[in-house]
């Protein structure tokens, strides 16, 4: 049974919901702009800063309220036939932009709610989890779960997932971006 399921009507308004979730970290107080891409088998909703620029939604960025820190967010929904779709992945990444070094991914908040039961680390990956990509310890590939103790509740619906993911975004705002906003800008 698929987790985090919606219908096509729900997907049409999803971009606005995501923009609202991400407004807490966005430079724009209404949240980032968004576009969607659809095929006969999937719908991708990606956030950007006003014009996606590139065709690859993974390259779309929007500004956070911290100078020099950009973000990327997308959701990949798989169409299951008829009017239903299920969330395959929701990925938020933060990048530091350095003048001479380019872009470096700092951390990611991911969720893979329909990861296969047999997949490695499935209980850590299904719910919202962090990757500390700029760190060597723990490994940048470690999946640090935010909701393992009540995972079934988090993945019960689009609304419960969105609420849990939003709480992860707020934690990133409070514990990562706010402290970075007080550091001197070094490009």
Which pLDDT score, from 0 to 100, does residue 185 have? 61
Which pLDDT score, from 0 to 100, does residue 137 have? 66
Residues 84-143 pLDDT 10s: 999 999 999 999 987 777 899 999 999 999 989 888 888 889 999 898 887 766 666 677
Asked whether 99 and 69 are in contact (CB, 8 A), the reply is no
Residues 38-56 pLDDT 10s: 888 999 999 999 877 678 9
Which pLDDT score, from 0 to 100, does residue 95 have? 95
- What is d(CA 64, CA 149) in angstroms, rounded to the nearest whole number? 30
Which one has a higher pLDDT value, 73 or 97? 73
Half-sphere exposure of 171 (CA within 13 A, CB side): 15
- What is d(CA 121, CA 113) in angstroms, rounded to the nearest whole number? 12
Q: For the residues 58-67, what does the mean pLDDT come to?
A: 94
Residues 152-179 pLDDT 10s: 899 999 999 999 999 999 999 999 999 9
Asked whether 126 and 151 are in contact (CB, 8 A), the reply is yes
Which pLDDT score, from 0 to 100, does residue 148 have? 74
What secondary structure, in 3-state letters, does the chain show? CCCCEEEHHHHHCHHHHHHHHHCCCECCCCCCEEEEEECCCEEEEEEECCCCCCCCHHHCCEEECCCCEEEEEEEEEEECCCCEEEEEEEEEEEEEEECCCEEEEEEEEEECCCCCCCCCCHHHHCCCEEECCCCCCCCCCCCEECCHHHHHHHCCCHHHHHHHHHHHHHHHHHHHHHHHHCCCCCC
Asked whether 69 and 95 are in contact (CB, 8 A), the reply is yes
Which pLDDT score, from 0 to 100, does residue 136 have? 66
pLDDT of 187 above 60:
no
- What is d(CA 9, CA 5) in angstroms, rounded to the nearest whole number? 12
pLDDT of 27 above 60:
yes
User: What pTM did the predictor assign?
Assistant: 0.90
Which pLDDT score, from 0 to 100, does residue 60 have? 94
């Amino acid at each position: 049974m698929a987790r985090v399921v919606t219908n096509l009507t729900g997907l049409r308004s999803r971009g606005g919901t995501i923009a609202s979730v991400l407004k807490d970290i966005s430079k724009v107080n209404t949240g980032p702009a968004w576009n969607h891409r659809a095929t006969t088998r999937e719908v991708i909703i990606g956030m950007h800063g006003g014009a996606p620029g590139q065709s690859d939604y993974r390259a779309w960025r929007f500004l956070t309220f911290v100078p020099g820190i950009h973000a990327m967010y997308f959701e990949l929904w798989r169409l299951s036939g008829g009017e239903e779709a299920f969330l395959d992945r929701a990925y938020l990444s933060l990048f530091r932009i350095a003048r001479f070094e380019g872009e470096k991914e700092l951390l990611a908040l991911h969720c893979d709610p329909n990861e296969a039961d047999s997949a490695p680390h499935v209980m850590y990956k299904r719910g919202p989890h962090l990757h500390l990509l700029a760190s060597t310890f723990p490994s940048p590939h470690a999946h640090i779960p935010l909701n393992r103790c009540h995972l079934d509740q988090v993945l019960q619906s689009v609304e419960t997932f969105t609420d849990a993911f939003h709480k992860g975004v707020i934690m990133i705002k409070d514990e990562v971006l706010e402290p970075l906003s007080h550091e001197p800008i070094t490009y």
